[in-house]
Amino acid sequence: MQFYSTNRKVAPVSFKEAVIKGLPDDNGLFLPEKIPSFSDDFLNQLSKKSFQEIAFESAKLIIEDEIGDNDLHSIINDAFDFEIPVKNVHDNIHVMELFHGPTLAFKDFGARFMARVMGYFLKEDGREINILVATSGDTGSAVAQGFLGVEGIKVTLLYPKGKVSKIQEQQLTTIGQNITALEVDGTFDDCQLLVKTAFLDKELNEKLNLSSANSINIARLLPQSFYYTYAFSRLNRKEEDVYFCVPSGNYGNLCGGLLAKKMGLPISGFIAASNANDIVPHYLNAGRFAPKPSVQTIANAMDVGNPSNFVRMLELYDNDFAKITSDIKGISFDDSQAEDIIREVHGKYGYLMCPHTAIGYGGLKHFLKPEDTGVFLSTAHPCKFKDVVEPLISEEIEIPLRLKAIIEKKKHAISMNKDFVGFKSFLLEQSI
C-alpha cells in the first residue's frame, strides 16, 4: 500500500516512510491511496472476535506485508493489553470507555501502537529520530508513556501554559529519560503551528530526523479505527441503525471512525460534538470552514481552533459537502451545558463523565432517534478533571494508584514563548 499526501505535491511513500516522516514535505497529511474493504466473512464473524483479532485483521488490510504477521501480532498484543468496555448507560444509548490504558485517555490506543510500529521500523534501519508533539492535554502523556525508553527516539512535548489540567500537566512533565516537556506561552494552536513550521524548515530537516506523534501521523490514525469496529461487534442490536458520537478537537478520532466506515463497517452515521471551539460543527451546519483562535474551556483537549484532520475528512469524501453532511452531523456545547450534562447523567443514571465525554453524550442524545442505537466515546477518566467534576456531583473522585504517584512528583518543564526562532534554536542545541 502506498500513502499519498493530501496536498498531492510529493510522490506517494510506503507505510514505513509515512510513519517515520509523520508529515509529507508539502505539508499535507498521509492517507492510503486505496481504502481496502473488509470481507463479508470478517463482518459476519465480528461478534466472535477479540479486540486484538479485529485490530490485526484491520491493520493487515492497510499495512499489507510491511510488517510480518508474527511481528504485527506482537505489536498489537503488547499495545492493547487493557480492556475496552462497551456499556449501556440507559435505553438505546451506550458508551465505549477508551480510558483504561496507562494514561487513562483514548490517546493510549494511537500512541502505544505508533511507538511500537516506529520502534520496529527504526530497529530495522538503525536510524535515530526526534519526535515533536503538540498537545492540548492527553496526547502528550500518552505519547510520552508510549515512547518512554524506546531506543533511538527523542520526544519533545509542547503544551500551552495554564491550559491543561493539573493532573495532565504532571503526566507531561514528570517523565524524564528521553522525554522533554516545553511549556509554551500560548494556545494549543500556537504549539501545533510551531511543530508544523519545524517540519517545513530546511535546516532542521537536514540536521534532525523529525517525525510527529500527533494525530497527523498515520500510525496514530489507524488504531483509532479499530475500536469502532470492536464496539459495533459488541452491541446487542437487531436491524436498527448504529450511530457514533465523537467528542472532537483535532478530529483524528472521528477520522478513525470514518476510515472504518469507508472500509465497510455498516455505521449509519457520526456526530461530531465539540466545545465552544465549534469550527467543524459550524462547517457542517453552514458549509463554511473558518478557523479562528481557540478559546479555553473545561474540555481542554478539544480547545483547537484549526483542526489538522479536517483535510482528511474532506479527502475521505472527495471534498463533497453533500456526502460529508449525509454521514456526519455537528453540534457544540459551552461549558455550562457540559456541566449540566455531567450533573444530569450522574444524578439520573449513576454514570460519571469527564467534560469531553459529557459533550459526546450530549451530542448523541440530541440527534439519536428512539428506534436507533447509539454509542458515545468516553475519552478520558473523570479523575483527570477532578477540579471540574467533583463540585458538580458533590462527591470525591477516587484517583487510580498509577496517577497518585505522578501527582507527587516534581514538575520538569522548559518555558518557551510561541516564537519559532527560539523553538528552532532549542531544537538545534539539543541535537549537538
DSSP 399: P
Domain range holding 323?
83-104+220-393
Residue 335 lies in a domain: yes
Residue 400 lies in a domain: no
Residue 12 lies in a domain: no
The residues with which 14 forms a beta bridge, in sequence order, are: 2
- Cα separation, 396 vs 387, whole angstroms: 10
Name the domain count of the chain: 1
Residue 352 lies in a domain: yes
Output 70 or 216, whichever has higher pLDDT: 70
> What percent of the chain lies above the pLDDT cut of 70?
98
Output 169 or 431, whichever has higher pLDDT: 169
Locate 225 and state its grid cell.
Answer: 479505527
- Cα separation, 219 vs 202, whole angstroms: 24
431 pLDDT band, cuts 50/70/90, is: low
142 pLDDT band, cuts 50/70/90, is: confident
Mean pLDDT of the chain: 92
Question: Do residues 246 and 256 lie in contact, with contact meaning Cβ atoms separated by under 8 Å?
Answer: no
Question: Do residues 103 and 142 lie in contact, with contact meaning Cβ atoms separated by under 8 Å?
Answer: yes
Secondary structure class of 28 (helix, strand, coil): coil
Locate 417 and state its grid cell.
Answer: 514563548
Amino acid residing at 351: Y
Question: Do residues 306 and 393 lie in contact, with contact meaning Cβ atoms separated by under 8 Å?
Answer: no
- φ and ψ at 144, to 5 degrees? -60, -45
Give yes or no for residue 150 having a pLDDT over 90: no
- Cα separation, 198 vs 60, whole angstroms: 32
> What percent of the chain lies above the pLDDT cut of 90?
70
Looking at residue 416, its pLDDT comes to 93
Residue 118 lies in a domain: no
Output 293 or 236, whichever has higher pLDDT: 293
Residue 199 lies in a domain: no
87 pLDDT band, cuts 50/70/90, is: very high
Looking at residue 200, its pLDDT comes to 87
What is the CATH number for 258?
3.40.50.1100
Q: What is the pLDDT of residues 302-351, one digit of tens each?
A: 999 999 899 999 999 999 999 999 999 999 999 999 999 999 999 999 99
36 φ/ψ sector (left φ>0, alpha ψ -120 to 50, else beta): beta
Give yes or no for residue 420 having a pLDDT over 70: yes
Question: Do residues 102 and 108 lie in contact, with contact meaning Cβ atoms separated by under 8 Å?
Answer: yes
Locate 23 and state its grid cell.
Answer: 508529515
Residue 238 lies in a domain: yes
96 pLDDT band, cuts 50/70/90, is: very high
Looking at residue 334, its pLDDT comes to 97
This model's pTM is above 0.85: yes
Which residue is listed with cell 456541566? 339
Give the active site residues. Answer: 107
Give yes or no for residue 432 having a pLDDT over 60: no
Residue 36 lies in a domain: no
